[in-house]
Structure 1
Amino acid sequence: MADQNLNQTFSYHLQIASFDIPTPLSYPVFTMGLLLYLFSVFCNLTIMLLIVTQRTLHKPMFYSLPLNDLVGISSMLPRVLADIVTQTHSVYYPTCVFQAFVCHMYGGGVLFILTAMAYDRYIAICCPLRYNAIMSPNNLMKIIIFMWLLVIALIVVLLALVTRFKICRTTIVDTHCNNPSLVRLICDDTRINNYYGLFITAVFQGVSLLVVIYTYIQILITCVMNKSSDARSKAIQTCGTHLVVFLFLEFNACFGLIAHRFQQTDPFLRRAFGLSVMVFPPILNPLIYGLKTKEIRQNVLGFYKRKVSSVK
């Protein structure tokens, strides 16, 4: 009976790791984090509002990224900020599993979205005459739906393999819940979880990396062969920002995955990289893609000009 009660307690109440921020710094850190969160929400909501209200922006590729970024940063940062102030650092097990589901959906989603954007740029630069036929709204919608169904299916199986076990520990080693942290709560044989984790990593990281490498090699060849310096500079400018964001995400995600495989990795460094994956892309993406995409940039400027004029 005692063991049963212990398992029930472990199943519902967990302690979650923190950054051990000194008390005098907790409120300044909270304020800075809150401002970053509000800034990200404002930027992503602004882009989503424009996409909904402007018919010319009704493209699946436009609204997928800000929506995914908004869900990703909201799934983790508010809780981390609350823990910094309250110093509670506790979470219920079902809530932890749900947070892990949303976080992994965000991670898989952003990788696939950036991969789809790389393919879109490849068609636009290497096959400009066929772009409207290949990347039609109908085909784009099919790509987006398939992408999200694949992400959801892979993540559901990933967490179903975790929740089939009874846990025997109560400490989440990261500042937010994820699959590696949940697996560490289990004392039984988790080899199947590890094998599937490697498989899902290969799908998300490997497929995305191969597609991006292939598309950018083709884009590079096209740019080298293109005699128009203006077209070449526009292609490099368009693809350069996408490549920086993609490589930043890949580096952080790979480090976080590798860090969980090696016990000697500094916990603070592992948590910092895990946090950066969830926080920085949702802040940078609306600035990079919102301001670099001509259609969105023009509509944003026009929207705020109309607001200023109406106030006057």
Structure 2
Amino acid sequence: MNNMTYNSPILVIEGIDVPHHFIYPVFVLLLVTYLIILTTNIGVMLLIMIDRSLQTPMYLLFFSLSFNDVLGNTVLLPRLIFDVVSTDRSISYSLCVSQAFFSHTYGTSCHTVMMIMAFDRYVAICHPLRYTSIMSPAMVAKLTASAWSTSITLVSILLGLTVRLSRCRSVILNAYCDNASLFKLSCEEVTINNLYGLTFTVVLFSSSIGSVAFTYFRILVSCVSKKNKELNRKAVQTCASHLVLYLIMLWSGFLIIISHRLQIHNSYRKMAAILFHIIPANINPIIYAMQTKELRNKIVQILHSKVNQLQ
């Protein structure tokens, strides 16, 4: 592939290297994975929308998380599935930028939504009598809007700095389009892009880790000082699922950052980027359904009624 096409409107995605005899098994695996993500996350979203008893701050925030998982994987997986079986991996520059925008918005929103979920758990456990007044519907709406608007603004600046660059290459050295792959197409000076990208990453991860660590520290102090078994049981029940989801998301994100900053083999970097999208999206609804009593009971009721209808 000629890499000397200047400002070409058509790019080529390198994609993932799949041996010929594994093409269709990988195709089926990715397709099934995507269908599972859609089924579980959309199912949870519909259940929260339909059942008024689940329309509480915690579940509304989980609705945002599921919506984000569907968005992030719909941007990535259909195109990736197509590229596995197709010899034509060309993509327009504008579509590539759009994919990068939604992919980075997905990753950023994972952190911002998780930060709000941690705050929700803190208020519920440490200030239970004030919970309904603090986490009112209006407050939840404001926090959710701020999470998404912050993500969109930060990512818009990130991609805005990239699209201003002229291009002297046309091959995306990744499985899909992202900011790092896009600005690597340029032969111009990209110091500003690197500085903003590094600052963006440090601020996002520092804010995310700091706020989650602070809220869980306050929850731990509250549980230890009050020595209330019921409070401790509630804290474990409501915080365990959130903490597991957060740690999975955090380490998946670290894999991508490390793979871009260090000289890691292309195949491992591509795999890390794909896993960042599909692992949290597959695990999130399962963990929440298993750890959250109300949601688990609703799912069991629905499955039980379906079985009765079939008998």
Report how far residue 61 of structure 1 moved: 1.1
SS at match of 2:211: helix
**Structure 2 match to 1:79:** 79
2:169 aligned with 1:172, yes or no? no
Of the candidates 33, 38, 44, which is equivalent to residue 35 of structure 2? 38
Q: CA deviation at 1:26?
A: 1.2
**Secondary structure, in 3 states, of the residue corresponding to 2:261?**
coil
Aligned residue type for 1:67: F
d(CA) in 2 for partners of 1:270 and 1:226?
47
Q: Percent identity?
A: 37
- Give 1:311 shift: 4.1
Report the equivalent of 1:295. Answer: 294
> Cα offset for 1:176?
1.1
- Structure 1 contact 104–178 (Cα < 8 Å) conserved: yes
Q: Does the CA contact (< 8 Å) of 2:165 and 2:183 recur in 1?
A: no
CA drift at 1:157 = 1.3
* Structure 1 Cα separation of the partners of residues 235 and 14 of structure 2: 44
What's the CA shift string for 1:101-123, capped at 9, x where partnerless? 11011111111111111111111
The residue that corresponds to 1:18 in the other structure is: 15
Q: Deviations over 1:61-108 (max 9, x none)?
A: 132111111111111012111111124333221111000011011111
Count of residue pairs the alignment pairs up: 305
* Map of 1:53 onto structure 2: 50
SS at 1:7 equivalent: coil
Code of the residue aligned with 1:129 in structure 2: it is: L
Query: 4+ runs of 1 displaced by more than 4 Å?
Result: none
Query: 1:140-289 to 2 correspondence within 5 Å?
Result: 140-262=140-262, 264-289=263-288
Residues 62 and 244 of structure 1, relative CA distance in 2, 3 Å threshold: closer
TM-score (norm 1): 0.92
Tell me, yes or no, if the aligned pair for 2:72 and 2:106 is still in contact at 8 Å: yes
2 CA distance for matches of 1:260 and 1:96?
Answer: 19
Counterparts of 1:255 and 1:27 in 2: how far apart (Å)?
A: 27
SS of corresponding position for 1:63: helix
- Larger displacement relative to structure 2 (232-241 or 94-103): 232-241
CA distance in 2, matches of 1:137, 1:294: 22
Whether the 8 Å CA contact 2:13–2:173 is kept in 1: the answer is: yes
1:111-136 CA-to-partner distances (Å, cap 9, x unmatched) read 11111111111111111111111111
Unaligned runs of 5+ in 2: none
Asked if the contact 2:108–2:151 (Cα under 8 Å) also holds between the matched residues in 1, the reply is: yes
TM-score with structure 2 length normalisation? 0.92
- Report the Cα offset of residue 182 of structure 1: 0.7
1:33-62 per-position Cα deviation (integer Å, ceiling 9, x unaligned): 211111111011111111221122234313
Q: Which amino acid in 2 is paired with 1:298?
A: N
CA distance in 1, matches of 2:287, 2:73: 17
Query: Could you say what the CA RMSD is over the residues aligned between the two structures, in angstroms?
Result: 1.8
